Amino acid sequence: MSIFIDKETRLVVQGITGRDGSFHTRQMIEYGTQVVAGVTPGKGGQRFDDSVPILNTVERAVSDEGANTSVIYVPPAFAADAIFEAADAGIEFIVCITEGIPVLDMMRVRPYVMEKGARLLGPNCPGLISPGKSKVGIIPGEITHAGPVGLVSRSGTLTYEVVHKLATSDIGTTTCVGIGGDPINGTNFIDCLAAFEADPETEAIVVIGEIGGTDEQEAARYVKEKVTKPVVGFIAGQTAPPGRRMGHAGAIISGSAGTAEEKIQTFEENGVGVAQRPVDVVGLIRDVL
């Protein structure tokens, strides 16, 4: 199985005619994702690459094409409104790739989406992929391989590195999820851990964290209390100086709780094996499978 997306996912692309939206729509279609519609206000009635209908609203994508999932490639100034529109239209799963969305916007968006009963992944994330089933976002399909490991990561680049190492080691993944590194996002480590725990095909889980905040510590404690499957992890930013933002907007150390050392210690105290380098994740996974 997989989490959040599968072969039944019916995707609408918000911002399908933009540079990023059009490029990645072609990649998703080539991978086998069911892209049933695109939305660009004012361009309704056209078709993308002579196949995907372009509509003016997400509501039409739901009512006319049966869309149940949305991926958003629109500029930061309009991304919050795009998320609101998807939630209002009844989309069950919203993936926002856009980076640079103001924190104030996300403070309004997150509770609204939850109130509507939808799930938001992102913003500022690479999306997710279930190898051989569906991909929503920008994770390259060619670096993945189906297998028994669930992977959740705050870092897009490290997501690619680790999932590729697992694939080339003949281990593979059930689903690879990039949750994004912004201070406020829609889906966190614990959400993904719970989903992987419930997935019968996921036999082990990889958690890739980074400096800043306390999400990794909370995830580690959740693992000890609720997760029966083996979990291994890696923390990025071990050499980052305190007080300086490294990479994601949420990756800033403010006090001891956000340091790599504190996160690694909490992982180890709660039974999560910690890799010293991203490549070492493969060895830790082999040990627990």
**CA 35/CA 13 separation, integer angstroms:** 7
Is 80 exceeded by the pLDDT of residue 132?
Answer: yes
CATH code of residue 205: 3.40.50.261
Domain-embedded: residue 177: yes
Minimal CA–CA distance to 250: which of 188, 182, 187?
Answer: 182
Domain-embedded: residue 54: yes
Q: What is the pLDDT of residues 2-44, one digit of tens each?
A: 999 999 999 999 999 999 999 999 999 999 999 999 999 999 9
Q: Does 217 share its domain with 114?
A: no
What is the percent of the chain with per-residue pLDDT over 90, rounded to a whole number? 87
Q: Does 282 share its domain with 152?
A: yes
The one catalytic residue in 24, 145, 164, 248 is: 248
Domain-embedded: residue 270: yes
> pTM (2 decimals)?
0.94
**Final residue belonging to a domain, choices 94, 121, 148:** 121
Check if 145 is active-site.
Answer: no
**Final residue belonging to a domain, choices 121, 149, 182:** 121
Q: Does 52 share its domain with 183?
A: no
Is 90 exceeded by the pLDDT of residue 126?
Answer: yes
Q: Does 160 share its domain with 277?
A: yes
Region for 25 from its dihedrals, namely left if φ exceeds 0, alpha if ψ lies in -120 to 50, beta otherwise: alpha
Instruction: Give the CB-side neighbour count of residue 272, counting CA atoms within 13 A.
Output: 33
Is 60 exceeded by the pLDDT of residue 213?
Answer: yes
Q: Does 68 share its domain with 145?
A: no
pLDDT at 1: 77
CATH code of residue 99: 3.40.50.720
> Is the four-CA dihedral 262, 190, 175, 109 of positive or negative sign?
negative
Q: Does 72 share its domain with 154?
A: no
Q: Are 37 and 12 in contact (CB under 8 A)?
A: yes
Neighbours of 179 (CB within 10 A): 26
Average pLDDT, the chain: 93
Q: For residue 123, is the peptide bond before it cis, meaning its omega torsion is within 30 degrees of 0? A: yes
**CA 129/CA 178 separation, integer angstroms:** 9
Is 70 exceeded by the pLDDT of residue 253?
Answer: no
Q: Does 144 share its domain with 96?
A: no
- What are residue 189's DSSP bridge partners? none
The residue range of the domain holding 242 is 139-288
Q: Does 283 share its domain with 143?
A: yes
pLDDT at 155: 86
pLDDT at 239: 63
Minimal CA–CA distance to 146: which of 177, 172, 166?
Answer: 172
Rounded mean pLDDT, 122-141: 97
Q: Does 154 share its domain with 249?
A: yes
**CA 221/CA 114 separation, integer angstroms:** 24
Domain-embedded: residue 242: yes
Is 70 exceeded by the pLDDT of residue 123?
Answer: yes
Tokens of 222: 């959740």
Domain-embedded: residue 233: yes
pLDDT at 259: 85
pLDDT at 145: 96
**CA 166/CA 206 separation, integer angstroms:** 10
Q: What is the pLDDT of residues 85-105, one digit of tens each?
A: 999 999 999 999 999 999 999
**Final residue belonging to a domain, choices 86, 121, 156:** 121
Q: Does 96 share its domain with 210?
A: no
Q: Does 161 share its domain with 109?
A: no
**CA 285/CA 163 separation, integer angstroms:** 12
**CA 231/CA 273 separation, integer angstroms:** 7
Is 60 exceeded by the pLDDT of residue 244?
Answer: no
What is the percent of the chain with per-residue pLDDT over 70, rounded to a whole number? 93
Count of domains for the chain: 2
Burial class (CB in 10 A: 0-12, 13-18, 19+), 12: buried
Q: Does 202 share its domain with 86?
A: no
Minimal CA–CA distance to 55: which of 111, 184, 213, 46?
Answer: 46
Domain-embedded: residue 108: yes
Domain-embedded: residue 2: no
Region for 138 from its dihedrals, namely left if φ exceeds 0, alpha if ψ lies in -120 to 50, beta otherwise: alpha
Cβ neighbours for 73, distance < 8 A, ≥ 6 positions apart: 13, 14, 15, 16, 18, 20, 21, 24, 97, 98
Residue 233's pLDDT band (cuts 50, 70, 90): very high
Domain-embedded: residue 4: no
Is 80 exceeded by the pLDDT of residue 252?
Answer: no
**CA 286/CA 49 separation, integer angstroms:** 43
